[in-house]
Amino acid sequence: MLTTTNKYPFFDLSEIIAENDLYYKNYKTLNPVKTGNTVPNFNLSAGFNRWQHFYNGAPTYGASQVRQLLNAPLVVAFYSNRWGNYGVEYLQQLNAIQYEIKANGGNLLIVTADTDTATLEKVVWENNLSLNFYYDRNNELAQQFRVYSDEAPTWNIYPGIDNNVPLLSTYVIDT
């Protein structure tokens, strides 16, 4: 007959060795560009695969007029579909004010690093948006504006974000 003391082995707490499976890494904070700062080497590629134009939710095709965008004040907005509903609301707000931007002589450009064009086309179609998108491979522009950094991942700051994406932010670049 087994007694309750013989059923389970006896452990001494001094035998337990603690292992550090989770390492703490101290991340830096983002320091986005502020009013009056300059963005050195601001450059947009004229490559056809970097631009996507939409009119009332439908994609349109044609030559991108980079020179035309840069000859007037340019509103640059960073977007990622990883922001979910916040990102969709952000795009809707930008779509609503873009005609005011054009009436004041400016242009609007949405910068995204998302390579999933099908998701972007679906969001634009469902919300009937008329916007210009620029694909920022490797978040090069976002790093110049300091709204993206590998040393300051977004998922470390905002709950619900599981990828490192640029902050939803808007800048006006003067000529």
DSSP one-letter string for the chain? ---HHHHS----GGG------S----PPPP----TT---TT------GGGEEEEETTEEE-----HHHHHTS-EEEEEE-GGGTHHHHHHHHHHHHHHHHHHHTT-EEEEEE----HHHHHHHHHHTT---EEEE-GGGHHHHHTTS--SSS-GGGTSTT--S-----EEEEE--
Per-residue pLDDT of 138-169, as tens digits, reads 899 999 998 998 888 887 778 777 888 898 89
| Domains with residue ranges and CATH for the chain | 47-173 (3.40.30.10)
pTM of the full structure? 0.78
